[in-house]
Amino acid sequence: MDCIFCKIIAGEIPSTKVYEDDMVLAFRDINPAAPEHIVIVPKNHMESANDITEENIKYVTAIWQVIPKIAKELGFAENGYRVINNCGEDGGQTVPHLHFHLLGGRKFTDF
């Protein structure tokens, strides 16, 4: 499958991993929008939030269990952070593998 994030999960494209378990991989964004910018992906391919089902919602649950863990480990949980999911063209999604942006280390004032 020609999917950048599937290739990162498979180790075919290198990434700076910050967390990994059997369902979730988190790695540093190559083009960070904040001092801390982590991309969190399910290890099974689904294109976007539109493809979340009763069967695969467990991957999203697993991701949300991991988000505060990463924020605590990287030391910005107390100050706070922002989590973003871009869905589809109007949402600004550029990589068609469901992912959440975890952004921290600065104050977000827009939106």
Residues annotated catalytic, as ranges: 99
Token pair for residue 109? 């004032």
**Please, which of residues 28-67 interact with ligand 5GP by CB under 6 A?**
28-31, 39
Contacts by 91-94, CB closer than 8 A, 24 or more apart:
93/48
Q: Which residues contact 15 (CB under 8 A, 6 or more apart)?
A: 8, 27, 28
Nearer to ligand 5GP, 56 or 86 (CB): 86
Q: What is the DSSP letter of 53?
A: -
Task: Yes or no: say if 71 and 103 are a contact pair by the CB < 8 Å rule.
Answer: no
Please identify which residue in 6, 74, 95, 105 interacts with ligand 5GP, judged by CB under 6 A.
Answer: 95
Task: Choose among Zn ion, ligand 5GP, none what residue 86 binds, the Cβ cut-off being 5 to 8 Å by kind.
Answer: ligand 5GP
Asked if 11 interacts with ligand 5GP (CB under 6 A), we say: no
C-beta of 24 vs 71, nearer to Zn ion = 24
Q: Which is nearer to ligand 5GP, 23 or 99 (CB)?
A: 99
How many residues bind ligand 5GP, per CB under 6 A? 14
Distance CA(29)–CA(106), nearest Å, equals 16
Among 18, 70, 71, 97, binds Zn ion (CB under 5 A): 97
β-pair type (81-84, 36-42): unpaired
Residues near Zn ion (CB under 5 A) are 3, 5-6, 45, 97
